[in-house]
Amino acid sequence: MKTPPDKAPVFGKYMIIAAWVLALALLTMFFNDQLDRQRNPNRQLKTVTDGTLPVVRLQRNRFGHYVASGEINGQPVEFMLDTGATDVSIPADVADRLGLERGRRAVYQTANGPITAWRTTIEEVRLGPIRVGPVPASINPHDSTEAILLGMSFLRALDFSQQGNTLTLSYPRPGGN
């Protein structure tokens, strides 16, 4: 009578392959998270209180931009601060997801030339404990990214200053100082 061949070596090969696949998957997840932290180092905002006023401190990302997680009308979004933008500029796909209504068309001058976008109003923009609203904004059909440009229609309601790689945002102090 013949003895059946031993299946242990075949099973062992499958276990080694499975271990390598698992290791590669874990490394991929780790490095994707590291890259995302470099792109948006402000997923968890650093906030302090200066007397009674909240202060948000943003770190510049490795590309030289201030990117931060926040909310529009209570829904999570990602912002890129842009002091050169007149309004908050929202990509059309993101605006649709947020349920923002398109108002009248307007022409905006951008670094790439004029574009036509829709005006809208955001009830509330939130960056950590800082809340501003209503905020004029535009819905940009030419932007295919997910990042919302947080322009001067939001920033003009705040005091902000940059020191090194840190941008500090706060409400204006009563009386101007």
Residue 1 scores a pLDDT above 60: no
Please tell me the pTM assigned to this model.
0.72
Assess whether pLDDT exceeds 70 at residue 7: no
Q: How much helix, strand and coil, in percent to the nearest 5, is found in the chain?
A: 25, 40, 35
Query: Distance of CA 87 to CAs 24, 36, 42, Å?
Result: 43, 26, 22
The SS3 of residue 47 is: strand
**Per-residue model confidence as pLDDT tens digits over 13-40:** 777 777 777 766 666 665 555 545 555 7
- Which tens digit of pLDDT belongs to each residue from 55-83? 999 989 888 889 999 999 999 999 999 88
146 burial type by CB count under 10 A (0-12 exposed, 13-18 middle, 19+ buried): exposed
| CATH number corresponding to 46-176 | 2.40.70.10
Alpha-carbon span 118 to 141, nearest angstrom? 8
Q: Give me the residue spans of the domains in the chain.
A: 1-39, 46-176
**Which H or E run contains 22?**
helix 8-39
